[in-house]
Every structure is written in structure tokens, then in C-alpha cells.
Amino acid sequence: MSNDRASLAVRRLEQRANPPERHSPRRDMSISVCRHVAPLLWHVDRVGMDVDNMNSPRIETDETTLVLPIVDGLVAIPKRLAITVLWHPDSVRIGARAQLPEGVGRVAISRFEPEFTGLHDPHGTASPLASQTLSRVPVELVIDPRGGVIIEPSEGRMRCQLDGQAISAPTVIADDRLDQGAILRLGPSVLLCLHRVGPKATPHRAGDPLGAGAAADAIRRAIGNAAASDVPVLILGETGVGKELVAHAIHSRSRRAAGPMVAVNMATLSESLAAADLFGSTKGAYTGAVSVRAGLFAEADGGTLFLDEVGDAPSVVQPMLLRVLETGEFRPVGANGSRRVDVRVIAATDRDLGASGFNQPLRRRLEGLVIEIPPLRDRREDIGILLRHFLHSEGCREADLARLPGDLIETLCRHDWPGNVRELGNIARRIALALSSDDPLALATLGRSLDPDPIAAPTAHETDIRAPSPDIASSREPARYRAPTSVSDAELLAALERSGWQVRAAANELGVSRPSMYALIDACHAIRKPQDIPRAELLTVIADHPGQPDAWAAVLHTPREALRRWVVSHGLAEEASGNES
């Protein structure tokens, strides 16, 4: 491709992107990368795309592959305002979306308007919310062309809450708040999410991650692009966002779908046996090698190998991984010759691989295509449909979902979700157990057991976007790389004590991922599990330090959050208080 044609491609991309005045650093980086590499050769034939239909192009040089971050495809795409149903008395309506056309200045929301289209039927017949709990007198959304939305509450008697706070006067939602998703509750049981979406929804296919917003659309497009290629894929995202689900979706839609899909958690491999686990070994290659081992790469021949937590891969095997990615060859431990395999590698991590300690040539080789999955707190429009999916998976019926109190659903929608989709699935399992046992008290206490760090509630005339606490802010900074096997029990206990027995902060201090941190905690006999601590001992400590979970954790030597949830879910604080009186 000539330099002129590459320059033309860049101009077309920039014209299609038409970025708004306010840019995020990621979007600015995407555009600047486009301009910088315009004279380079664009390899798009291997992923089945052309210049006029380009979603996630790869730009190759002699040394490495540059990948543009996936932000709605390639660069910033103008997004429209949408309203997604988070919860509704008729659970079939959950996930339905009303995408507002451009240029609309005022939108009414009531029992009869606007019309919503089901998530899995984007071309179907649209219909209004039609809930008897909603008023005929609408709530008005006034769309500011300069950005943001003003909510004018209903003049009727219908309750209207924005991010957990009742509003009785016009209230502004700032533009950046809409990017994350603002929670609007109408009446007792209808919850909506005001958020931004791309101009065109990506159809959902079986096995794709569920979601109703722009982030889910971008992930589904990225899966399609990755499935059309054999280049390595690196999936980035916090723990629990669904990285392995994305890896399985890529495999199932690729030409390798009939082949094996082999997964390994790299954080669980020991320094001494990691090479044998990955590449196999001959009989007698090391002490205890009583037979030939094929190894994970051999098992995945003709298919896909998923390297989960690749940031925690033992340093000794990182150069070996680089060689097999470059040549397709490896040598089993103790073997005299090399073996060639046909394996597509997909890796995932929640850490910054650019940090000191990780093999940088390996990082660049893994970044054939990069997919970044945002945390659940940044895509709240997906919470309702994910919750319904998990509840159905636990055997709940539509009538069961209708019994859930609106306050609980609102709490879930506003929760910060440090454990992301995995945490939501665990909460759904507890909800299903409470529903099956017909225990309203368990449902009432469930919301209180969540981390007390919901999204900020706005005030009239402005949106108060809470800055994260220092502990949370520091825990989201990229951690330096460290092999989990190098962390001693003494270091682990010291880090937990300095962090107030908060797992996330201690993991960040040690430079290990949260999954690795939990594995270290499970293996350390000096750290106790809340369920293993005698009830009498728990009650004594709680009575001695009322309302002080930090003190409970320090005395009992157990992670703070797990202990707090155990105390709340079993009513131990109330019992200790009653015993004391």
C-alpha cells in the first residue's frame, strides 16, 4: 500500500470518528498513533478487513505490532444518549433500550413513552414501559447540546430518584457522568440507566458477553475481529470482568472452534515445574518425572491456549513463551529435539505488563491484538441484564424476580463492584438462595453486606461525582510485577497488617494480582477464614470493638471485607450488642 493510500485511510478514519471537543487520553492516543504510522505498511488482509471497513487494524513493523486501543472500534465515535431498562416488574423488559435520535432537545419518560426495543431484537417492535407503577405524568429529560442532561421530575406523585437521592427540582447530570451511567428510579420498581451508546448496536451471538451499552458493543466487535485472525490476543481488565469468557468466545467463533481450548492460570505454576507444565517433559527429566508429559502446548495443538494471569507467569518460562510465539517450536524438558505445534495463544491479565519485571519482547508479541474490558462500575447499563441472567442460571423464575425489592436492586445498580461481574454472580447466587428459602430478612440484609462505596448521589442543579478514596485510588494504580511464589508468609502478613487487612491494598503493595493474593491467603495457615472462627470468639471481639471492622480483622487475623460480610450476613453485630446489654 502506498504512502498516499495510507494517508487517505487515516483521513477517512478521522472524518468518520469526528471526535467531540472533549477527548480522553485514550482517544487522543489513538488518533496520534494513526498520524504517526501513516507511512507504514497497513496489514489488513490477514484479518479480513479493508480500509473502508476497518474496526481494529494492526500496523506491523519489522520489530513489533502496534495495536490501536478499542474504543468503539478504532477511535472515538460520536455517541448518542440512550435509556436502558435496568429493572422492570416484567423482567422480559430488562435490557430494552430507547436510543434517542440526534438533535432531540426534550424527552418525556412515563408509562406511555418513549418506546423501548428489546436487547436481542433490535429490529423488532418497540413498546413503552407500560408499568402500572409509573405515572401518566412524565419525567422530562432536557438534553443540553453542549453536553449533559437536565432531569425535571414529574409534576405528579411518582417518586423520582437519581443515583439514590430523591429529586424534586431540576437536576443536572454532567456529560462525564453519562459515560459511566446514571441510575434513574421511577416509582417503586422501575430502574433506568441514562448512558451513551454508539450509533449502531452490534448483534449479540451465543457465547458473547451480555451487555446493553457501548462497551459491550465494542467488546463484541473486537471478538469478531479477533476470531477472523490467528494473531495472539491480549485481554486486559480487572479481576472478575469476564476475560476468560471473551477468550472462549473468540475461540468458538474462529476457524479453530473444532480444536481444543486449553486454559491455564499462570499464577499457579511454580518456578521449578512451569516449563514442564507448559512444554512437557521426558521420563526422568527431573526428580519425580516417572513418565512422559505432553505439556499444555501439545494438548492445545490445532486449537487455542489461554494463558490466564499471564502477568504472573514465572520469569523462567517467559523467554520460552516468546520463542514458541515467534517460531511455533519448543523443546520439552529433557528432550533432545524441538517440537512444532499449531497453537493460537490468547492471554489475559489485570496488571500493567509494561511494569518492571515482565519480559518486554514477550509483552509486545502478546499484543498482536489488545482487547480492554472496562470494569462493571463503568458500564452500569449492563447490571440489570447480567443479574437476570445469573438469577435464571440459578433456577429463578420470572415470578421470583418480581418479588425482589426495588431498594435491593437500586443498591446493586449503585454498588462499586470491586469484584466486577464475578462478584455480581456471587450476589445473584445468594439472592437465589434467599428466594428459594422465602427469607425476606436475608434479602433485606443482603444489600447492607455490600461494600459501602456506591456511586455518588447528585445534588440539585449539579452532579457530585465522588473522587475515589485514597485507598481505592492507590489500589487502581498499576502495580509493579512480582512473582507470587517469591512472597513469603511473613511478607504477606506484614502487608495485610499495614493495609488494615484489606486484600486489594495489600496485593497492590506486594505487586501481585488479586487472584494470586487470594491463593497466597488460602495457603497461609496463619490467616484465618471467618467461617472457621468460633462464634463465641467472634462475638467477644465484636463486643470489645463495636462497629470497628478494622479492629476485628486485626485481632482475628482474617481479611477485613470477608469478615465484615460474614458478620453482617449472620447478624453477629446485633447479637453481640444484645449480649452486652
**Could you report the per-residue pLDDT of 397-439, keeping only the tens digit for each?**
888 888 888 888 998 998 888 889 999 999 999 899 888 887 7
Q: How far is CA 402 from the centre of its chain?
A: 27
CA gap 227, 253 in Å, rounded:
6
pLDDT of the residue at 77: 46
Q: Are residues 411 and 489 in the same domain?
A: no
Q: Are residues 436 and 561 in the same domain?
A: no
pLDDT of the residue at 566: 84
CA gap 517, 504 in Å, rounded:
8
Query: Which range scores top for mean pLDDT: 63-67, 231-235, 440-444, 544-548?
Result: 231-235
Last residue of a domain, one of 310, 344, 372: 372
pLDDT classification of 119: cutoffs 50, 70, 90: low
pLDDT of the residue at 578: 67
Q: Are residues 483 and 568 in the same domain?
A: yes
SS3 308: strand
For residue 237, tell me if it sits in a domain. yes
What average pLDDT does this structure show over 319-324? 93
Closest CA to 226 of 322, 301, 308, 304: 304
Question: Residue 460 has what DSSP assignment?
Answer: T
C-alpha count within 13 angstroms, C-beta hemisphere, residue 128? 14
The amino acid at residue 457 is A
Q: Are residues 231 and 354 in the same domain?
A: yes
For residue 226, tell me if it sits in a domain. yes
CA gap 14, 17 in Å, rounded:
5
For residues 565 and 316, which has the higher predicted lDDT (pLDDT)? 316
CATH of the domain at 270: 3.40.50.300
For residue 111, tell me if it sits in a domain. yes
pLDDT above 90 for 336: no
For residues 51 and 328, which has the higher predicted lDDT (pLDDT)? 328
Quote the cell numbers at residue 423. Answer: 462478584
Q: Which residue is associated with the grid cell 423501548? A: 116
For residue 461, tell me if it sits in a domain. no
One DSSP character per residue, 224-275 reads HHHHT--S-EEEE--TTS-HHHHHHHHHHHSTTTTS-EEEEEGGG--TTTHH
For residue 74, tell me if it sits in a domain. no
pLDDT above 80 for 371: yes
Q: Which residue is associated with the grid cell 495472539? A: 232
Helix axes 560-569, 572-580, angle to 10 degrees: 70
Closest CA to 141 of 108, 97, 186, 92: 108
Residues 6+ apart with CB under 8 A from 568: 445, 448, 449
Q: Are residues 441 and 482 in the same domain?
A: no
Query: Which range scores top for mean pLDDT: 40-44, 202-206, 232-236?
Result: 232-236
Quote the cell numbers at residue 273. Answer: 515445574
Q: Which residue is associated with the grid cell 480444536? A: 259
CA gap 295, 78 in Å, rounded:
47
Q: Are residues 362 and 384 in the same domain?
A: no
Last residue of a domain, one of 372, 393, 410: 372
CA gap 339, 279 in Å, rounded:
9
SS3 365: helix
Closest CA to 559 of 484, 508, 499: 499
One DSSP character per residue, 413-432 reads HH---TTHHHHHHHHHHHHH
Instruction: Provide the domain limits for residue 361.
Output: 214-372
Distances in Å between the Cα of 139 and the Cα atoms of 82, 136, 155, 240, 279 are 15, 9, 8, 36, 62
CA gap 309, 264 in Å, rounded:
9
Report, in this order, helix, strand and coil percent for the chain, each rounded to 5.
40, 15, 45
pLDDT above 90 for 572: no
pLDDT above 70 for 121: no
For residue 208, tell me if it sits in a domain. no
pLDDT classification of 124: cutoffs 50, 70, 90: low
For residue 459, tell me if it sits in a domain. no
Find out whether the peptide bond into 468 is cis, omega within 30 degrees of 0.
no
SS3 100: coil
The amino acid at residue 380 is R
What average pLDDT does this structure show over 71-94? 71
pLDDT of the residue at 199: 61
Q: Are residues 227 and 334 in the same domain?
A: yes
Phi, psi of 140 (to 5 degrees): -105, 135
pLDDT classification of 253: cutoffs 50, 70, 90: very high
- CB count within 10 Å of CB 467 equals 8
pLDDT classification of 63: cutoffs 50, 70, 90: very low
pLDDT of the residue at 234: 96
Beta strands in 63-212 (DSSP E): 65-67, 80-87, 97-99, 106-109, 139-143, 149-152, 160-162, 165-166, 171-173, 182-186, 190-197
Q: Which of 92-106, 335-349, 565-579 is predicted with the least confidence, judged by mean pLDDT?
A: 565-579
Closest CA to 198 of 55, 52, 32: 55
What is the pLDDT of the chain when averaged over all its residues? 77
CATH of the domain at 139: 2.60.200.20
CA gap 563, 481 in Å, rounded:
28
What average pLDDT does this structure show over 308-331? 91
Sign of the Cα pseudo-torsion (121, 126, 132, 135, in order): positive
Contact 54, 9 (CB under 8 A): yes
Q: Are residues 368 and 219 in the same domain?
A: yes
Contact 377, 455 (CB under 8 A): yes
Q: What percentage of residues in the chain have a pLDDT greater than 70? A: 75
Last residue of a domain, one of 45, 67, 89: 67
pLDDT above 80 for 36: no
CA gap 306, 50 in Å, rounded:
28
- At 260-290, the pLDDT tens digits run 999 999 988 888 888 888 998 887 667 676 6
Number of H helices, E strands in the chain: 22, 20
pLDDT above 80 for 62: no
Q: Are residues 51 and 149 in the same domain?
A: no
pLDDT of the residue at 227: 93
Q: Are residues 348 and 243 in the same domain?
A: yes
pLDDT of the residue at 158: 86
pLDDT of the residue at 205: 72
pLDDT of the residue at 487: 86
For residues 209 and 121, which has the higher predicted lDDT (pLDDT)? 209
pLDDT above 80 for 52: no
Longest dimension (CA), the chain: 84
The amino acid at residue 334 is G
pLDDT of the residue at 215: 85
What average pLDDT does this structure show over 18-40? 34
- CB count within 10 Å of CB 216 equals 25
Q: Which of 18-22, 142-146, 334-338, 517-521 is predicted with the least confidence, judged by mean pLDDT?
A: 18-22
pLDDT of the residue at 271: 84
CA gap 31, 246 in Å, rounded:
26
Q: Are residues 233 and 336 in the same domain?
A: yes
For residue 520, tell me if it sits in a domain. yes
For residues 344 and 50, which has the higher predicted lDDT (pLDDT)? 344
Q: Which residue is associated with the grid cell 501513516? A: 38
Q: Which of 73-82, 324-333, 463-472 is predicted with the least confidence, judged by mean pLDDT?
A: 463-472
Helices of type H across 336-382? 360-366
Q: How many domains, the chain?
A: 4
- At 476-515, the pLDDT tens digits run 344 455 777 788 888 899 999 888 898 888 888 888 877 7
pLDDT above 50 for 130: yes
pLDDT of the residue at 177: 82
pLDDT above 50 for 39: no
What average pLDDT does this structure show over 304-329? 92
What average pLDDT does this structure show over 206-221? 82
Q: Are residues 91 and 162 in the same domain?
A: yes
